Copies of this chain bind each other. A is one copy, B any other.
Amino acid sequence: MAKILIIGGGGMVGQKLAHSLAADPFHAGDEVTLFDMAFPAEGGAPAAQKLPGNITDKGAIRRLAAGRPDLIFHLAAIVSGEAETDFDLGWNVNMMAFRDLLEALRAEVVSSAHAYKPRIVFTSSIAVFGAPFPEKIDDTFFQAPQTSYGAQKAVCELMLSDYIRKGFFDGMSIRLPTICVRPGKPNKAASGFFSGIIREPLNGVEAILPVSRDVRHWHASPRSAVGFLRHAATLDTTLLNARPALNMPGVSCTVEEQIEALREVAGNDAVALIREEPDEAIRAIVKNWPRDFAPERALALGFHAEDSFRQIIETYIADDLKR
């Protein structure tokens, strides 16, 4: 029996991950703990424990570590838009709280005389990269983020990699593409519209498009995100060759191509619900975002995403669209 801890387990991806683990006979005997500030009021994923709390609470973090989870998924974060407007909040939650978690877990590892060695899967982001970019970003392109969120994620990767290198933990960082189509309500991420322009029309609601249609970006579905996390949880990490931060696969397409995929799946009436309303603040953030990747290492290690944006829409319809 393994103890699995999902930090950020109340969020969209955390909940889907918990559902995925609960549905897997291989994990039938495992004890899954979710930690987050809030959980869905109803219909939430099953878990042995749902602990409400804040990752900036050092006492709470020490108690989580004292439970000696075998596997920790770290998904909690202040999203990009909010980290950009609230500098302190972003650095405190996205970086300092993660350092406190690493230190609390390391204390358990050391006090166990290294009998305890958890695996940590850290969800990073393609926001660790900043413009200008090559046509496709390869696996050795440098981290020069142009947002606080991206800088915080890059810092966490570097910290985790060093703790792993020193033998305190096993694990890796996975750099998620923009996750699309997110179900539910918009969040504060500047990337929210990439989901909105698909989700709202499929639900018969008007959607705002704040950027021009030629914006190209890198996407994967929530189902793929869960697949990345679960693959990272069982991967033979010696194959990472001491470079445990990895660009995940995804689909590169323009907003125009997203819209045409929506037209194929749901017709002109759906597309007519997209209203263009330029937002300079969002444009300014998005223009510094990656457009395309050559994630060769991740593909060679067996990570996989959708092959087309149409597949991403179909995944949303299958997994999340209420009918």
Tell me whether A158 and B166 are in contact (CB under 8 A).
no
Within 8 A of B (CB), among A226-251: 242-243, 245
Nearest residue (CB) in B for A90 is B162
| A190 vs chain B, min Cβ distance (A) | 15
B-contacting residues, A151-170, CB 8 Å: 151, 154-155, 158-159, 161-162, 165-166
* Contact yes or no, B142 A141, CB < 8 A: yes
| Contacting residues, chain B, for A146 (C-beta < 8 A) | 165, 242
A154 contacts B158, CB within 8 Å? Answer: yes
Known: A140-B142, A141-B142, A142-B143. A148 touches B162 (CB 8 A): yes
In the assembled complex, the Cα of A146 lies from the Cα of B151 at a distance in Å of 20
**A151→B157 CA distance, assembly (Å):** 10
Report the nearest B residue to A140, measured CB to CB.
B142
**Which size class do A's interface residues fall under?**
20 to 34
Is B242 touching A130 in the complex (CB atoms < 8 A)?
A: yes
Residues in chain B near residue A154, CB distance under 8 A = 158
CB pair B143–A158 under 8 Å, yes or no, is yes
Q: Which of A140, A158, A242 has the most CB of B within 10 A?
A: A158
**Minimum distance in angstroms from A271 CB to a CB of chain B:** 36
Q: Is the CB of A87 within 8 A of B166?
A: yes
| Residues in B neighbouring A162, C-beta threshold 8 A | 145, 148, 151
Q: Is A144 an interface position by the 8 A CB rule? A: yes
- Asked if A145 and B158 make an inter-chain contact with CB atoms under 8 angstroms apart, the answer reads yes
A68: shortest Cβ distance to chain B, in Å? 20
Q: Considering the chains assembled together, what is the distance between the CA atoms of A155 and B151 in angstroms?
A: 9
Tell me the A residues contacting B by CB distance below 8 Å.
87, 130, 134, 139-146, 148, 151, 154-155, 158-159, 161-162, 165-166, 242-243, 245
What are some 29 contacts across the A-B interface (CB < 8 A)? A87-B166, A130-B242, A130-B243, A134-B140, A139-B142, A140-B141, A140-B142, A141-B142, A142-B142, A142-B143, A143-B143, A144-B161, A144-B242, A144-B243, A144-B245, A145-B158, A145-B161, A145-B162, A146-B165, A146-B242, A148-B162, A148-B166, A151-B158, A151-B159, A151-B161, A151-B162, A154-B158, A155-B155, A158-B158
